[in-house]
Each structure stands twice: as structure tokens, then as C-alpha cells.
Amino acid sequence: MKQLFTLTLFLLTITAFAQKPCEYSVNVNDSIGSYKVTNEFLMSEKYFGGTFNYIFFSLAQTDGLPTLNLQSIQKSKDFIKANCFDKNSKIFLQLENGKIVTLIHIDQESCGTLVRDDKDYDNRVNTGIFMFMKDNYEELKKSPISIMRIKYLTNIEDYIVKRELTSELTGKVTKPNTYFMENIRCVE
């Protein structure tokens, strides 16, 4: 009886701490190389004065090199200022342990695309690819994120990264502050 109890406790512990499997939107291996991208994840959602701002992350691995794909979507009936990425753009992630992790944008300028929808909203979609630095990559596995700062070409924006985010867009509940702790293993 004691052994049955111990076995049951062991199996419950393994189940409780098991990592969820990685889900990819793209996973290609061919003679040219390999490329995989995790599903997009809502990191930030803001609504203020008729303007919506969304930040999505996905992790990618190209022939063994991990990168972060950031997608910014702005939606408004008013004028939308372009936030461009360039070679000097960066993402700064302040972790709850006090450390700051910096990601550097690839050398490719991007100001996004402006699209008008059927409800007369202008939508600006911009995507940037950021590289991890060797010296602080491991820190993302150890501590949740508290603040995210994005340095654009002409602007800097700060975001408080929530422990739990209930999206008005999708209705899903996510935990953005532990995004890297749960997903970075998918591109290693």
C-alpha cells in the first residue's frame, strides 16, 4: 500500500511539472536548412481613446540561430504614426530579478504596412526580427519579465508585462511575463 501511494505521488508530481509541448506555425527541414517558428503569443494589448495597440511575439530558429519575431498592430480611425524599426532598434526586457536583457534588431528597416478595413479603421502592421545576445540569453529562462521597452527609429515605448492578460481581442487568458521561461526551449 505504501509503494502504491509513493508511485501515485511520483506520477502526479511528474504530471504537474511536465512542460507543455512546443507548438509551431512553421517547421521546415530540407536540404537548404531548417526553420521553425512558434505560434504567435499576445504580449501586450492596449486600448486608449479609440486606438488599439497589440504586441505579439513568436520565437524562430533558423539553422540553429534563435531569434524573436515581434509583430506590432495599431488600429485607429485617427492618424497612426509609423513606428519604424532600423539597425539601431532594440528591445529591453527588465526581469523580475532586476537584470535587463537586450535584443538587437537585424539590419533591415521596416515601417510596416497601412491597411484600411471595412469599418474605416486604419491598421498599421509592423514586424521586426530581433537577435538574442549570448551573455544574457540564459537569464530569460530563469526569471519572469516585468517591463518591456521597445526602441524604434524615432520613438521609445514602455510596456508593463502582466502576470495574467485577458485579451479583449480573443478572450483568451495568457501569462505574458513567463513567455520566455515557457517557450525559449522550443528554439534551442
Give tens-digit pLDDT for 133-179: 887 788 999 999 999 999 999 999 999 999 999 998 788 999 999 99
The larger pLDDT score, comparing residue 34 to residue 102, is at 102
pLDDT surpassing 90 at residue 9: no
Quickly state the pLDDT bin for 131 (edges 50, 70, 90). very high
Close Cβ partners of 2 (under 8 Å, ≥ 6 residues apart): none
pLDDT the model gives residue 15: 41
pLDDT the model gives residue 12: 43
pLDDT the model gives residue 29: 84
The alpha-helical segments, DSSP class H, found in 42-103 are none
Report the distance separating Cα 70 and Cα 184, nearest Å. Answer: 14
Kindly calculate the radius of gyration of the chain based on its CA atoms and give it in whole angstroms.
19
Looking at every residue in the chain, the average pLDDT score rounds to 87
Report the distance separating Cα 14 and Cα 7, nearest Å. Answer: 11
Set of cell numbers at residue 148: 518591456
Report the distance separating Cα 109 and Cα 30, nearest Å. Answer: 29
pTM: 0.84
